[in-house]
Structures are given as C-alpha cells and as structure tokens.
Amino acid sequence: MYWNDHSPPHFQAKYGDYEITVDINTGVVEGKFPKRALRHVLEWYELYKDELLEDWDLCEKQEMPNPVKPLE
C-alpha cells in the first residue's frame, strides 16, 4: 500500500518484472502475474482481507499500518 493512494482500497504485488493491483473489497486483479504466484497472492488476500482493510484505513489517516503476516 502507498500513502495517500486513491480509492478504492487496494494493494500492489510485485514478482520479478510482473506487477498487479488487487482491489481489497472485491478481489479483482489488474495486471499480469504468473499463475502460481497469483494463486499465492490471492490465498494471502483471502486470509488477511480484514487486516488489509484496517491497514488501508490507517494509511488514509496517515498512520503506520500494522504488519500483515506472510503466507506460510
């Protein structure tokens, strides 16, 4: 997530030369990612969607977001 980013709530993920944006409310993905890496990002998103929305709210208030656990 980037400070002062535009709505809707979203996050970016990078993998090598690939980059995607994931809408936190809907799970809609923009961009291209290798299939295996995309599956991992979407699994992580499903597990931590609520935490991601909380972090988005903190960023909008210019507060430090909380760390989100990695996928294990």
Q: What is the pLDDT of residues 29-53, one digit of tens each?
A: 999 999 999 999 999 999 999 999 9
Q: What is the pTM of this model?
A: 0.90
| Burial of 26 from C-beta contacts in 10 A (0-12 / 13-18 / 19+) | exposed
Whole-Å CA distances, 33 to 21, 50, 60: 10, 23, 27
pLDDT at residue 23 greater than cutoff 80: yes
pLDDT number for residue 20: 97
CA distance linking residue 59 with residue 55, whole number of Å: 6
pLDDT-derived band at 72, boundaries 50, 70, 90: confident
Taking every pair of C-alpha atoms in the chain, what is the biggest distance, in angstroms?
34
pLDDT higher than threshold 80 for residue 4: no
